[in-house]
Copies of this chain bind each other. A is one copy, B any other.
Amino acid sequence: MNERYERGLAKLIEIDGEKGRQVVDSLRDIAPDFGRMIVEFPFGDIYSRPGLDLRTRELATVAALTALGNAAPQLKVHIYAAQNVGCTREEIVETIMQMAVYAGFPAALNGLFAAREVLGPTADSPA
């Protein structure tokens, strides 16, 4: 336990709640040090920095993971996190749609399907 870890763990829980801790725990029987590093570097070093608010940080991550298109589980965690730190459903969906311009329609489509899985269908969608 060190300062970076403590700061990172607090940030991870602020952002992801229990889901974040689950990712770390899931590494315990294959690469426990890597679980510690995820707390320390992304959350203790990067997400804890001033200069960019958490809502924008999460939308930037949703944008990047949608565009890369090869990390579906992590994209879902960050769609959840974006909502958790206060992004609206609309902001998340708009960010993903915009990726059609930069990474193509299939990447955006798969991002939108991930969003529906996490956020649920819209209340006013037709039966």
Integer count of this chain's copies in the complex: 6
Least Cβ–Cβ distance between A96 and chain B, in angstroms:
8
Whether A30 and B105, one on each chain, are in contact in the complex, defined by CB atoms closer than 8 angstroms, is no
Q: With A and B bound together, what is the CA distance between A29 and B23 in angstroms?
A: 29
| 11 examples of A-B residue contacts, CB within 8 angstroms | A28-B125, A29-B116, A37-B45, A38-B109, A51-B90, A57-B95, A59-B60, A68-B104, A74-B106, A103-B103, A103-B104
The 10 closest A-B pairs by CB, nearest first: A29-B125, A29-B121, A71-B106, A60-B63, A69-B70, A64-B67, A52-B94, A74-B106, A30-B116, A51-B90
Q: Using an 8 Å CB-CB cutoff, how does the interface string of A14-56 with B read, 1 for contact, 0 for none?
A: 0000000001001111110110011001100111010110001
